[in-house]
Chain A
Amino acid sequence: MKFIEGLKKIFLIDLFKGLFVTFRHQDPNDLVTEQYPLERPEISDRYRGQPRLVKDENGKMLCTACGACALACPDKLIKVGSMRDPETKKKVLTEFDYDMGRCMFCGLCEEACNTGSLKLSRDYEIALYSRDGLELDRKQLEDGTSRKVYDK
């Protein structure tokens, strides 16, 4: 066995084996690069992207301004403003702002919301050129912010 090892050492067999491994990887269907703007990655539906306030089918607000999400958020990013509707005696949401600049998308607010109105959407293109566009107010949360999508 020692002799064969010696022969292998002389004829650089281990180096050639390494070479063939890299050579084998060249065939085109092995390539994995995804050219982003053309080929878009497919996103799972549990993806935690930009937060959105969801409306039910006929457009009524689901949010009851209970503030559970504001409590659950570790970094206190959510501020829920509400006023009491005189005749129905129930709270109505007036303003809801969400500071996405410091958000770490942990999903605890989505979990705490018992009416299921605050959802982290599958939108991952949320980069901006300036920081102030990140404080989302209620309207932006409801119909989503449309970012410019480049194609090249």
Chain B
Amino acid sequence: MSDNQFYESLPEVEPGHTFLDSKELVLNMGPQHPSTHGVLRVILKLDGEKVNGLECVIGYLHRGIEKIAESRTWAGFAPFVDRLDYTAAVSNNLGYCMAVEKLVGIEVPKRAQYLRVILTELCRLSSHQIWLGTHVLDIGAVTPLFYAFRDREEILNVFEKYCGARLTTHSFRIGGCRWDVYPAFIKDVLRICDDLLPKIDEYKDLITGNRIWMQRTKNVGCISADDCLAYAITGPVLRGSGVNWDVRKAKPYSSYEDFEFDIPLGVAGDTFDRYLVRIEEMRQSIRIIRQAVAGLPEGPIIARVPKVLKPPAGEVYMSVEAPKGELGYFLVSDGTAQPYRVRVRPPSFINLQALAKMAKGGLVADVVAIIGTLDIVLGEVDR
């Protein structure tokens, strides 16, 4: 439905209408808008301040990653997966490598599994810090963005020292990890854990306790638990509505069962609960990192994998708890060195569906808050 079709579909002014009855104002929160976290276009049908209807137009960042996969080798496709959710490249990589390992049936050595857990949890911290900075910025407070990005800088330095790149890390290979730990790795990671805890409490004074923040986020964008299930929403948004489901607990992978951590749950399913869930998740990630670093076993970091990988014909669906939700890979292989079909189950794409339902009836300012709390990344929505 191109623009003019959309505008024609608006109700004509019936004869009974007087000039004072406000016809709906169609506002275009266009692809390049300061608070749509990327190239998302939201067509708002407004009655004054209230949002009557909302429609998302996506596809501006569509690069056709699933088509590219069909002409790359299994190992050659791994760097492309970093570009999906570019704020959490490590967990995309982990998901893809584990899916291929399950397809081929490779057993990853224990040390590589622990190393992968440490790096994924660090990546979850950095993704949550980006979310915190931009979400609070959309609601008006300018400073937390800089505190969150300053803390994130430490994590990016560890990524750079470990695998050579800060954002598109391409840190794992099929069968394990590419590099072993650099000498000061353990010291850096523990320093990050110790530095971050007081900083998270600082956010409590600056934001959580702030009455303006509470008024802007309490019962805004509410969604009930069974709506979440109907929309197949996963991740912090689901846990914000009180559903106790996390892929790391439900279907443990990469030796997550060795670590004990609890899953924060919200109660009312509004923006404030999701905020608390993510802040608590950052604390839990630090707990996991500490246990993983303490229990890092010795041994090889990569299993024996043939140079040109030809997995047996078959298909497999493997999902990982990415910072945004359940990131799944459905791989179909026909026995050749190139994947036959790679389907990425993007959590942001499916969570974004609920935006129309959550934003209905709210105000324009709430639409911005809800986009922030859904924590969508357009690289993953458009693929």
- How many residues on the A side are at the interface (Cβ–Cβ under 8 A)? 25
Check A108/B79 contact, CB under 8 A, given A46-B162, A47-B160. Answer: yes
- Interface SS majority for chain B: helix
Pair B210/A14 contact, Cβ less than 8 Å: yes
Which residues of chain A are near B150, meaning CB under 8 Å?
Answer: 32
| B164 contact from A22, A25, A44, A72, Cβ within 8 A | A44
- 32-46 of chain A: CB within 8 A of chain B: 32, 43-44, 46
Q: Which of A53-61, A82-90, A99-107, A130-138 contacts B (4 or more CB under 8 A)?
A: A99-107
Q: Give the residue name and chain of the A residue nearest to B212 (CB).
A: A15
A17 sits at the interface (CB 8 A): yes
Pair B160/A18 contact, Cβ less than 8 Å: no
**CA of A40 to CA of B153 in the docked complex: distance in angstroms?**
16
Q: Give the residue name and chain of the A residue nearest to B211 (CB).
A: A14
Pair B72/A74 contact, Cβ less than 8 Å: yes
Q: How far is the CB of B58 from chain A (nearest CB, A)?
A: 24
Pair B205/A18 contact, Cβ less than 8 Å: yes
**CA of A74 to CA of B339 in the docked complex: distance in angstroms?**
13
**CA of A46 to CA of B171 in the docked complex: distance in angstroms?**
12
B57 sits at the interface (CB 8 A): no
Q: Give the residue name and chain of the B residue nearest to A42 (CB).
A: B157
A21 sits at the interface (CB 8 A): yes
Check A72/B76 contact, CB under 8 A, given A22-B143, A44-B160. Answer: yes
Pair A17/B205 contact, Cβ less than 8 Å: yes
Pair A46/B163 contact, Cβ less than 8 Å: yes
B209 sits at the interface (CB 8 A): yes
- 1-57 of chain A: CB within 8 A of chain B: 9, 14-15, 17-18, 20-22, 25, 32, 43-44, 46-48
Check A108/B76 contact, CB under 8 A, given A18-B205, A46-B179, A47-B164. Answer: yes
A69 sits at the interface (CB 8 A): no
B283 sits at the interface (CB 8 A): no
Which residues of chain B are near A74, meaning CB under 8 Å?
Answer: 72-73, 76-77, 79-80
Q: Give the residue name and chain of the B residue nearest to A12 (CB).
A: B211
A113 sits at the interface (CB 8 A): no
Pair B161/A18 contact, Cβ less than 8 Å: no
- 224-251 of chain B: CB within 8 A of chain A: none
Which residues of chain B are near A125, meaning CB under 8 Å?
Answer: none
Which residues of chain B are near A106, meaning CB under 8 Å?
Answer: 78-79, 168, 170
A143 sits at the interface (CB 8 A): no
Q: How far is the CB of A77 from chain B (nearest CB, A)?
A: 12
Pair B210/A15 contact, Cβ less than 8 Å: yes
- 116-151 of chain A: CB within 8 A of chain B: 120
A111 sits at the interface (CB 8 A): yes
**CA of A14 to CA of B202 in the docked complex: distance in angstroms?**
13
B147 sits at the interface (CB 8 A): yes
**CA of A9 to CA of B209 in the docked complex: distance in angstroms?**
11
Which residues of chain B are near A104, meaning CB under 8 Å?
Answer: 79, 168
Pair A111/B143 contact, Cβ less than 8 Å: no
**CA of A43 to CA of B161 in the docked complex: distance in angstroms?**
8
Q: Give the residue name and chain of the B residue nearest to A122 (CB).
A: B164
Q: How far is the CB of A21 from chain B (nearest CB, A)?
A: 5
Which residues of chain A are near B157, meaning CB under 8 Å?
Answer: 44
Pair B165/A48 contact, Cβ less than 8 Å: yes
Pair A46/B211 contact, Cβ less than 8 Å: no
Which residues of chain A are near B78, meaning CB under 8 Å?
Answer: 106
Q: Give the residue name and chain of the B residue nearest to A43 (CB).
A: B160
Which residues of chain A are near B143, meaning CB under 8 Å?
Answer: 22, 25
B75 sits at the interface (CB 8 A): yes
Which residues of chain A are near B80, meaning CB under 8 Å?
Answer: 74
Pair B209/A18 contact, Cβ less than 8 Å: yes
Pair A21/B202 contact, Cβ less than 8 Å: yes
B206 sits at the interface (CB 8 A): yes
Which residues of chain B are near A32, meaning CB under 8 Å?
Answer: 150, 153
Check A108/B206 contact, CB under 8 A, given A14-B211, A44-B164. Answer: no
Check A107/B164 contact, CB under 8 A, given A46-B182, A74-B79, A74-B80. Answer: yes
Pair A18/B164 contact, Cβ less than 8 Å: no
**CA of A104 to CA of B167 in the docked complex: distance in angstroms?**
12
| A14 contact from B160, B170, B209, Cβ within 8 A | B209
- 8 A-B residue pairs with Cβ-Cβ distance under 8 Å, sorted by A, are A14-B209, A15-B212, A17-B205, A25-B147, A46-B163, A73-B76, A74-B76, A108-B76
Closest A-B pairs by Cβ, 8 of them: A106-B79, A74-B76, A44-B161, A48-B164, A46-B164, A14-B209, A21-B206, A17-B205
By a beta-carbon cutoff of 8 Å, the part of chain B in contact with chain A is 72-73, 75-80, 143, 147, 150, 153, 157, 160-165, 168, 170, 178-179, 182, 202, 205-207, 209-212
